[in-house]
Amino acid sequence: MTTSPLKRILVTGGAGFLGSHICDRLVEQGHDVICVDNFFTSQKQNISHLLGKPNFELVRHDVTHPLWLEVDEVYNMACPASPVHYQYNPIKTMKTSVMGAINILGMAKRTRAKVLQASTSEVYGDPDVHPQPESYRGNVNPIGIRACYDEGKRAAETIFFDYHRSNGVNIRVIRIFNTYGPRMHPYDGRVVSNFILQALAGQDITIYGDGAQTRSFCYVDDLVEGILRMMAAPDSFIGPVNLGNPGEFTIRELAEKVIKLTKSKSKLINLPLPADDPTQRKPDITLARKNLNGWEPKVDLEAGLLKTIEYFAGLDLRQYRKPTDHTAHKSSQKHAGQ
């Protein structure tokens, strides 16, 4: 008798931007997929096409509470990811990262599941080493407005490695750099979604600060391929590993590209830079290339932006919950006592 290669796989945050693309790939491969989400920063639209499939199950649950499931693998993606979303309720953000990790790791210990943690380039803070290799320990302000996310993710990495060392839990840790594409929440306040929506509506493009800060933008399909390869990597390679596109652009360059590709008449305006906004960010992906069968991003920024623009242009914004009045630059003004 041969045993089935099909697995029972849990994706926490599975209705979110990245989680929903992971669910798509796993369902397509025939696995039994359980998507757990509390819909804090996502809506059912992202996974509605999967509802009703025999190998897909949706559970509304908050990962800060324990959950009892029998699974073979877990992708732990649950956490608000954009500054506007994670600063909305910073205490809850920290709880989601830390208590979520503890609950998932406890389950993985009991079921002997392999568990992958979605960590972030934010563990490097405002980096003074450029580009950032995994060996760089970071420059995070532990009491700033981004700390609920940065330090929460750093603590989650610590707990993952301690469960691995103390209890033999089979872990994988990835550090994701800025990723964009279809199914980003239109009101997440991230730079790509903001600029595209503003350009499509002919509104001013809001550059925070002078726009000289840099980011490296990875298209979602490239990232998800890297995530799946990391889960399948040999047990000798657990990470942390950087996943992202090493192409580096200033925020002003991004704005100009979006205007060009949308043929928009929008103007660029400058707003205050949020506190602790990293000045530069670019992944060193040597480790991923070497250990993930030559993985590297294939979609360049303009090609990825065109697909994302097409997605946002076709979106019925009336279906999405409005943003809160909390925006990144407002919170920085408050921080500065203005």
Q: Which residues are catalytic?
A: 149
* Shortest Å distance, C-beta 36 to ligand NAD: 6
* Shortest Å distance, C-beta 116 to ligand NAD: 11
Residue 7 CA to residue 182 CA, distance in Å, equals: 27
What the block records as the tokens of 169 is 């839990």
What the block records as the tokens of 167 is 């209890």
190 binds ligand UDP (CB under 6 A): yes
176 binds ligand NAD (CB under 6 A): yes
* Shortest Å distance, C-beta 207 to ligand UDP: 5
Stretch that binds ligand UDP, among 125-133, 136-144, 186-194, 314-322 (CB under 6 A): 186-194
Site string for ligand UDP, 141-170 (x = CB under 6 A): ------------------------------
> What part of residues 197-236 is at the interface with ligand UDP (CB under 6 A)?
206-208, 213, 215
Q: How many residues bind ligand UDP (CB under 6 A)?
A: 14
β-bridge pairing 114-120 and 171-176: parallel
From residue 125, give the alpha-carbon distance in Å to each of 5, 164, 240, 307.
40, 25, 16, 30
Nearer to ligand NAD, 141 or 270 (CB): 141
What the block records as the tokens of 150 is 């940065």
Residue 41 CA to residue 30 CA, distance in Å, equals: 27
> What part of residues 21-50 is at the interface with ligand NAD (CB under 6 A)?
37-42
**Of 186, 166, 141, 215, which is closest to residue 46 (Cα–Cα)?**
186
Say which entry of ligand NAD, ligand UDP, none residue 96 contacts (CB below 5 to 8 A, set by partner kind).
ligand NAD
Stretch that binds ligand NAD, among 9-17, 107-115, 251-259, 291-299 (CB under 6 A): 9-17
Contacts of 315 (CB under 8 A, 6+ apart): 186
266 binds ligand UDP (CB under 6 A): no
> What part of residues 99-128 is at the interface with ligand NAD (CB under 6 A)?
118, 120
Nearer to ligand UDP, 164 or 281 (CB): 281
Residue 200 near residue 312 (C-beta atoms within 8 A): yes
240 binds ligand NAD (CB under 6 A): no
251 binds ligand UDP (CB under 6 A): yes
SS3 219: strand
Binder of ligand NAD out of 22, 47, 63, 233 (CB under 6 A): 63
What the block records as the tokens of 157 is 């990495």
Residue 65 CA to residue 53 CA, distance in Å, equals: 27
Q: How many residues bind ligand NAD (CB under 6 A)?
A: 28
Q: Which residues pair with 73 in a beta bridge?
A: 9, 114
Residue 178 near residue 216 (C-beta atoms within 8 A): yes
Q: Which residues pair with 115 in a beta bridge?
A: 74, 171
15 binds ligand NAD (CB under 6 A): yes
* Shortest Å distance, C-beta 166 to ligand UDP: 32
Amino acid at 247: G
Residue 264 near residue 200 (C-beta atoms within 8 A): yes
Exposed e or buried b per residue across 183-197, where buried means at least 16 C-beta atoms within 10 angstroms of its C-beta: bbbbbbbbbbbbbbb
Residues in contact with ligand NAD by CB under 6 A are: 13, 15-19, 37-42, 62-64, 77-81, 85, 96, 118, 120, 176, 178-179, 185
Task: Kindly list the residues in this chain that would bind ligand UDP in the complex (CB under 6 A).
Answer: 82-83, 178, 190-191, 194, 206-208, 213, 215, 251, 274, 277
